[in-house]
């Protein structure tokens, strides 16, 4: 009886400790940057203009969002779950003089609210792109564009697939609600 009570107390302690510990951080892609020429090509492929809001899921040092603001006058949001990357991205945005057009958040890309995005950029991994499909399909408005560096979306047929500096970049558009 005493043994059972002790086990129950231990289980309770472990569950309290777990519920109070930091949330786990899921690294779904390593940190590798998109070369500048590929960044510009991705934004051109998406037809980014000043009325757009560009979200980069896993934004690293913020280069895609910063280029969207600097080169095209767009608004941008960068999401990364590594706080050091977000600090760096904010610093880079200030240096580029676009801090009023962009913001950066420490968050898990699978949890991020993306409904305001008109363009989403990705440089992740094939399996992460696949897992993101439902979030993109149901979280974005009709006509939103998705551009991915290097990795496709399984059997989602891209509207465009171009090669820049040996990297594939793919473009998809979110269809009208009735066709999803
Ligand atoms: C390949 S890098 C791409 C960086 C940037 N988008 C670019 O193209 O230069 C992937 C980034 O995703 C971030 N990342 C990985 N898993 C993540 C997650 N679950 N939530 C948010 N960011 C994540 C990493 O910290 C890393 O900065």
Query: How much distance in Å is there from the Cα of 13 to the middle of ligand 1?
Result: 34
Helix axes 83-96, 63-72, angle to 10 degrees: 20
Residue 165 has pLDDT above 90, yes or no: yes
Q: Give me the helices (H) in the chain, please.
A: 2-20, 36-45, 63-72, 83-96, 126-139
Residue 19 has pLDDT above 70, yes or no: no
Residue 12 has pLDDT above 80, yes or no: no
- The CATH architecture that domain 3-179 belongs to is 3-Layer(aba) Sandwich (3.40)
Name the residue with tokens 């974005």.
140
What is the per-residue pLDDT across 78-135, written as a single tens digit (0 to 9) for each? Answer: 999 999 999 999 999 999 999 999 999 999 999 999 999 999 999 999 999 999 999 9
Query: How much distance in Å is there from the Cα of 112 to the middle of ligand 1?
Result: 13
Give all strands of the β-sheet with 145-149 in edge-to-edge order.
102-106, 75-80, 53-57, 119-122, 145-149, 167-173, 160-164
CB 150 within 8 A of CB 79: no
Q: Which atom of ligand 1 is nearest to the CA of 85?
A: 27
Residue 55 CB–ligand 1 contact under 6 Å: no
Nearest C-alpha to atom 4 of ligand 1 is from which residue?
Answer: 60
Rounded Cα distance between 125 and 68, Å, is 22
Name the residue with tokens 């895609």.
64
What is the per-residue pLDDT across 32-71, written as a single tens digit (0 to 9) for each? Answer: 999 999 999 999 999 999 999 999 999 999 999 999 999 9
CB 146 within 8 A of CB 175: no
Q: Domains of the chain: which residue ranges?
A: 3-179
Q: Which of 26, 29, 34, 114 to mutate to test the pocket of ligand 1 (most atoms within 8 A of CB)?
A: 29
């Amino acid at each position: 009886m005493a043994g059972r009570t002790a086990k129950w107390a231990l289980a309770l302690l472990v569950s309290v400790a777990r519920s109070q510990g930091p949330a786990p951080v899921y690294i779904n892609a390593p940190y590798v940057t998109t070369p500048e020429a590929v960044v510009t090509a991705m934004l051109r492929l998406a037809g980014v203009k000043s009325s757009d809001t560009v979200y980069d899921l896993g934004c690293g040092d913020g280069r895609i969002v910063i280029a969207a603001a600097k080169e095209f006058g767009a608004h941008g949001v960068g999401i990364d779950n590594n706080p050091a990357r977000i600090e760096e991205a904010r610093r880079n945005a200030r240096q580029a003089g676009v801090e009023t057009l962009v913001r950066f958040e420490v968050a898990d890309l699978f949890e991020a609210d993306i409904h305001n995005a008109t363009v989403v950029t990705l440089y992740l991994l094939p399996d992460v792109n696949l897992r993101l499909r439902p979030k993109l399909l149901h979280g974005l408005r009709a006509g939103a564009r998705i551009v991915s560096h290097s990795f496709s979306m399984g059997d989602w047929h891209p509207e465009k697939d171009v090669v820049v500096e040996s990297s594939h970049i793919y473009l998809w558009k979110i269809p009208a609600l009735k066709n999803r």
